[in-house]
Chains A and B, each alone.
Chain A
């Protein structure tokens, strides 16, 4: 048995892992510790004579073309393998729009004729890189921050929290602060803002954050950032306040620590303590200097306030470090998952061609158990 399996492993081409993020795409082979390339999710569009982002689409046809071009770039310029007859592990969020999933499936199966696709959600994959049974994954992406509790290999769907608190929100706030500082609309490009955010911005500790608005507080030191067109002075105000937008509380309770606590609150009561003791903060947005420490401090403070005090007051928060850089944690999880089972969980091409259907958790067709009294109706 083992011998035959070994032969099968040799014959099976090494699968690739695709993590198509909003800003950056991670792509590489399964079983490797790091992706082969991390490139911006955009390609040169000869028709429009500009760099076009994959997520910049109006309808399905445009998305189809974007994905074809992007995958061509990934396969033939970066990873240099034939897409045909090779399996793919797609790392996706549980909240990926159906249109995007289905179009990606169409492009992979029909256009590139891959032999199978394994669809895996990023929260579970992030938990895989730790090996823990119960994990709370806080994924701060380019647009959204998503908090998903993974309990024994399954995400707690009804407790998923998501908010527009990604790196993009920090960039937008940074642009506003810089305009305010210079008294002029600067119209900085996304690249310049990203560069300032990554290199100059930081998240002050909680003690300092509380004193920011008091008179007489010494401002942070300003820095000069050399941009493509000019040298821009980034004041201390912009440097330390840009990320405050993530921690801004209002009546809606939609700040980043609120999302984390709300997720724990909606989880089963016997998993809550474990979840708080196993927090993993990942995603490209989490790499911001000082963000993790601040989030930890805010969580510990917030848990003593209502409405969390009554049910969560005794939680002790502990944090994990994933065995890879922040931006590629879910990719590494995909690499582990794809290599471990040799692609046996993948949706095969012939199966897809027959039914043209993807399994998805919001779809009753796939989530209704066979003993449910509606099951028979759904089958016809």
Chain B
């Protein structure tokens, strides 16, 4: 792997303009472009509980409000609760019956137990834990029915109005037409709901009643000793949005929230970039188009300190992760040809004329950050370098040292070390970040046939721009 925990010294410029290390990038084999987490479409693939690793179909997950039915989280510290068993003594006096096993929930992290809040022990280990219901549910449902009825009525009135337009007027003018006002119309003009509501839900609805009394604190509240351990913290309150208990005695075990496995999709071509395996225990993927497996990886071996106006040596390692030979050429970033135009094949134009092309307007709204300014330039050799294909077995071979010259330091199976020269600008400020950038032109053999009829591989020449972070400019 590249640098897992260290800062990212080598960053690639994604096709959306974001700077990311190679481990965070994807490579779409259909568009032949680098993509990152910011410019792809994430989708929920499957639900599972991270504690018991149990899969849950999405319909069931929706029904259970995305919570596991067997695992509970501590309401105090959010650790997973464990079920503990005790032998219950029969309070009626043991008349020969063996003591029964009873279960309660306990947190091994903060020592909270379900007995603390008065939840009775359960005879079965798996559950039957009482659920605290939301005390506002009934009122909320009343409100919901009321507003649904109003919305329904509004819709009906709208329909009636439209129907009325086509009704031919009668022969005679009645009183309403003459004065132009009825009770219903007057109410309508004032914006009040019409009185003759057909629905019983609307007429039976009771709006909330205000009361002049507000619960006051007792006069000696300031002298009372308060036990802060009995008052919940805000994180404990928000972890239970229905009740938001302010006293620790009102806490209750929360069923653990589920997690999801996500699949990623390229926005431009709608192909999957990654697709995880369904089994929650597995960390493997069914589809895994990561840039780490397709784009040449660059690592910094070492470099001399960067001084304004000076030149310093830079040692880089290039490796080819693909199973095909790769030709790599280094370019200045401004020499990269504009890639937008070259894919305009007949197929594409046909698609466009049929209006099949994906709406890519999201791309326009994207913030495209300009890359950070360079502290200087990299002197690049004008030679094409060939990297052998990746071969895991070659690691164990004793390879004779390859062709060494003043650019190539060493060569070993699919890896290559380069010696480059950096020229730092004389104006570079001491203490500023020393960023250097260059582009790579590399050949890529696409093993995915574009359609079922074409079998042969297609070779492409692709470009990517990198930014090296070489610390600070020194004196």
Contacts and interface: CB of A to CB of B under 8 A. Distances in A.
Interface string B200-214: 000001111111101
A336 interface: yes
A186 interface: no
Given A76-B262, A80-B47, A153-B191, A221 B151 contact: no
A279 B211 CA distance: 10
B243 interface: yes
Contacts of A344: 151
Interface in B68-92: none
Interface stretch (B233-241, B293-301, B436-444): B233-241
Contacts of A111: 362, 365
A55 B192 CA distance: 39
Contacts of A318: 210-212
Interface string B124-164: 00000000001011011101101110110000000000000
B173 interface: no
Interface string B214-238: 1111010111111010011110001
A279 to B, nearest CB: 7
B1 to A, nearest CB: 16
B257 interface: yes
A84 B41 contact: yes
A309 interface: no
Interface stretch (A175-183, A243-251, A320-328): A320-328
A61 interface: yes
Interface stretch (A88-96, A197-205, A258-266, A368-376): A197-205
B217 A204 contact: yes
Interface string A23-42: 01010100101111111000
B365 A293 contact: no
Contacts of A323: 136, 139-140, 143, 208
A199 B227 CA distance: 10
A342 B147 CA distance: 11
A152 interface: yes
A194 interface: yes
A34 B146 CA distance: 18
Contacts, number: 183
B38 interface: yes
Counting contact residues on chain A (CB < 8 A from B), the size range is 35 or more
Contacts of A327: 238, 244
B151 A292 contact: no
A317 interface: yes
A60 interface: yes
A332 B222 contact: no
Residue from the set B246, B361, B365 with the largest chain A CB neighbour count within 10 Å: B365
Nearest to B210: A318
Contact of B144 (A316, A322, A336): A336
A309 B215 CA distance: 26
Contact of B219 (A205, A322, A336): A205
B225 A221 contact: yes
Interface string A270-287: 000000011100000001
Contacts of A82: 43-44
Interface string A195-224: 100111011110110000000001111011
Contacts of A296: 214
A225 interface: yes
Contact of B66 (A68, A79, A84): A79
Interface in B391-429: none
Interface residues of B, number: 66
Nearest to A47: B19
A307 interface: no
Given A195-B233, A319-B214, A33 B140 contact: yes
Residue from the set B147, B150, B221, B359 with the largest chain A CB neighbour count within 10 Å: B221
A126 to B, nearest CB: 11
Contacts of B244: 325, 327-328
A113 interface: yes
A132 interface: yes
B268 interface: no
B208 A321 contact: yes
A175 B234 CA distance: 18
Interface string A2-45: 00000000000000000000001010100101111111000000
A290 B216 contact: yes
Interface in B314-350: none
Contacts of A353: 359, 361
11 contacts: A36-B65, A64-B367, A82-B44, A223-B226, A289-B217, A290-B216, A290-B217, A318-B211, A319-B214, A321-B208, A340-B150
Given A34-B134, A152-B192, A339-B148, 12 more contacts: A36-B65, A80-B259, A129-B143, A132-B210, A225-B228, A278-B210, A279-B210, A293-B215, A293-B216, A293-B217, A319-B212, A320-B210
Interface of B: 38, 41-44, 47, 61, 65-66, 134, 136-137, 139-141, 143-144, 146-148, 150-151, 191-192, 205-212, 214-217, 219, 221-226, 228, 231-234, 238, 241-244, 246, 257-260, 262, 359, 361-362, 365-367, 369
Interface of A: 24, 26, 28, 31, 33-39, 60-61, 64-65, 68, 72, 76-82, 84, 106, 110-111, 113, 128-133, 152-153, 194-195, 198-200, 202-205, 207-208, 218-221, 223-226, 236, 239-240, 277-279, 287, 289-290, 292-293, 296, 316-325, 327-328, 332, 336-337, 339-342, 344, 353
